[in-house]
Structure 1
Amino acid sequence: MEDDSYFEDEEFSPIRSLLGLLTFSTIIPINVFTSIEYMTKLTWCWPFIHIFIGILAAICGYVSLEMLHLNSFFTAVIVYAFLMIITGYNHLDGVMDMADGVMVHGDPERKIRVMKDSSVGAGGVATLFVVASLTVGGLYNILDYHFIYGIIICEMAAKTSLLTTALLSRPLTPGIGSYFIKETTITNYFASTIICGIVAFLLGSLVGVLGVIGAIVSGIMIATIARRNFVLANGDVLGMSNEVGRLFSLLFMSVALYFL
């Protein structure tokens, strides 16, 4: 999320901008590009785009679990690998970079320098391992309950977590992440979150709604950590929020599946 020369300037088109957002966040070869300013105007629609990604991942999980008769753990690993590959490992560098920045001692300026450094430290690698392992564990848990819809919900909710962090953060400029933060307003955030809650309820009743709530909690947590350590937020912080948001969504749904 650093070089906006990747985009072309043109007249605003909602459909083209949505497709541009899909191009930006996945490896699906639609190759539709638009300016970063126009693309991020529809940041609030990002969770809905990832409903489609979640559906593809859910199909992958269904085939593995029900047709190939693989066990839940193996299926969880396959689903997680699919999500990482189709999204081009887009946010994993954010997990490592933010973790490195948080782990280092010093003032916000030093922490930001470490976060933006291209090298990765032990804290970043260890944090990525923990987040990835727990996410696989969460997928394993919901698949044990044969709750395939949970895959769709957690992928959608990951972007709700990202939007929550964006809403509560001040942008670090320059950087593409700052455009997403600036375009996330209270109005479009609540519209997006309410729609996500409705979709989650239709897919998973109260369990699905709790998955979205888990993502919101994650977004608040990451925004708070970023504010205390960096004051400002960038694309790395948003990336961390996305990955931890998926994890917290799975965590909340896993607990709900046991008790409800």
Structure 2
Amino acid sequence: MALTAVPSRTRELVGRRLTAVRGALGFLTRLPTGRSEAAWTAFSETPAAFPAAGWVAGALAATPLVAAQFRALPAPTVAFGYLLALYAVTGINHADGVADLGDAAVVHGDPERRRAVLKDTEVGVGAVLALSLVLAGLALAALALAGLPAAAPRTAAVGVSGAVAIAVAAEVGAKLGMAALACLGDPAFEGLGSAFTDNAPAALVAPVVVAAPVALLGVPAVAALGGALAAALGVLRWSRTNLGGVNGDAFGAANELARLAGLHLGVVAWTLS
């Protein structure tokens, strides 16, 4: 009886993991995966679902970069196509976190004062500047990606172009960064952040395992993953010091800033390799 129970438990575990990934895609992207309370609960309890969703989102957003491998297209056009595809897949919800943390960053005062600014519906100069810098940086990174050679990196174990490898790795890294906030962060207050931060630090091992195949894409992709994770950890540290913990805005800002850092560091690594 014990032997027959094992497959049943395995199927249940796999089913829950797939439900968690569906919940992650429903929350982190605009893909029509459907939303349910069960999927949301499974996602909030499964940090590994963050980078799993990053693989899917990164691959879809890189479609214009893939197309550019087969037909010569102007780099600015390819870059613009990547930006359109990226936000068509991921939406703009996370950009709100950049705006809110931008306003909180320019406030002088204690964490309580900064947290109050996060709930303010008015858009301040900090938000405008932060969003402008992120969008400008993302556009420049996309243009740099579009200008990379079509060949795969020499160190890649699979035949994926450098631009595609970096774009996918940066997205996986951004989602790994969000998983790091979920496993290492404490909630600043009750809200979206507190829904994810019940996970123990040891739970970060599973997201790292899910993100690890980025190594097959080559050194530039690994640099993109590492840069994205470092940027997200920077947001975590800033949030602890200035907000007293993480919240939904910190998750959103970590995603956007991590992707940006990952793209630029990936391109730099390609240039130096």
TM-score normalised by length of structure 2: 0.83
1:209 to 219, 222, 229: 222
Q: Deviations over 1:154-189 (max 9, x none)?
A: 111111122233333211232122122222x32221
Find the aligned partners of 2:256 and 2:20 in 1 and give their Cα distance. 24
1:252 aligns with 2:265: yes
- Cα separation, partners in 2 of 1:20 and 1:195, compared to 1, 3 Å: closer
2:133 to 127, 130, 134: 130
- Work out whether residues 44 and 195 of structure 2, in 8 Å CA contact, stay in contact via their aligned partners in 1: yes
1:168 aligns with 2:168: no
In structure 2, the residue corresponding to 1:43 is in which secondary structure? Answer: coil
In percent, how many aligned pairs have the same letter?
Answer: 27
Counterpart of 2:195, as a letter, is Y
1:113 to 106, 111, 116: 116
> Which residue is equivalent to 1:8?
none
Find the aligned partners of 2:221 and 2:169 in 1 and give their Cα distance. 7
Find the aligned partners of 1:32 and 1:220 in 2 and give their Cα distance. 29
> Which residue is equivalent to 2:66?
62
- Work out whether residues 163 and 219 of structure 1, in 8 Å CA contact, stay in contact via their aligned partners in 2: no
Give the structure with higher Rg (CA).
2
How much does 1:242 deviate?
0.5
Alignment of 1:1-260 (within 5 A): 13-35=16-38, 36-63=40-67, 65-66=68-69, 69-146=72-149, 147=162, 148-183=164-199, 185-197=200-212, 199-203=213-217, 205-260=218-273
Cα RMSD of the aligned pairs, angstroms, is 1.9
How much does 1:240 deviate?
0.5
Number of matched residues?
Answer: 245
Find the aligned partners of 2:144 and 2:201 in 1 and give their Cα distance. 34
Which runs of no fewer than 5 residues in structure 1 stay unpaired? Answer: 1-11
Find the aligned partners of 1:66 and 1:220 in 2 and give their Cα distance. 34
How much does 1:67 deviate?
5.1
